[in-house]
Amino acid sequence: MITRTLVHTCLLVLLCGSAQAQERMNAEAFDAYVTGRTITFRTDINPTYGTERYMEGQRVMWSSAAGICQYGVWFESKGDICFRYEGDPEHKCWTVYDEPDGLRGVYTTRPPFTVIYEVTERTEPLICNDLSS
């Protein structure tokens, strides 16, 4: 007879095993997924974390929900996808996963280890309240 505890343990092992089986994206896979796209991200507590436009040559433009934009570049470092933005000396690194519902990124530069999720592809331009045309 299988006990309830054993069933719960088996389910937990199956769920954890499938989560761990996902591999992080390397630079080649990330580049193929994002280049030419504008992607909006959310967190568990913030439905509008920000939006990033991914351009040729690993160039990016990040827009926070407040409309503050930063230009930058991305690169791979130690298996993570890292971003360096103009005016910010600290690069921001994420372990990125390609999941059925879109990208999931786990911030790895330092705590707190924020987790972001892809919301939807945007077709309208980014709103940059701090940049003049």
Kindly report whether the global pTM for this prediction surpasses the value 0.85: no
Q: What is the span of the domain harbouring residue 62?
A: 21-121
pLDDT tens for residues 2-36?
A: 444 433 433 333 344 444 457 899 999 999 999 99
Is 87 part of any domain? yes
Report if residue 11 sits inside a domain: no
Specify if 3 maps to a domain.
no
CATH code for the domain of 42: 2.40.128
**Residue 133 located in a structural domain:** no
Residue 10 lies in a domain: no
Does residue 109 carry a pLDDT above 60?
Answer: yes
Distances (CA, A) of 72 to 3, 19, 86: 55, 31, 6
Average pLDDT over residues 115-132: 75
Q: How many CB atoms lie within 10 A of CB 47?
A: 11
- Asked if residue 77 belongs to a domain, the reply is yes
Closest Cα to residue 39, out of 59, 71, 63?
63
> How far is Cα 71 from Cα 53, in angstroms, rounded to an integer?
10
The total number of structural domains in the chain stands at: 1
Lowest mean pLDDT among 2-11, 73-82, 94-103, 123-132: 2-11
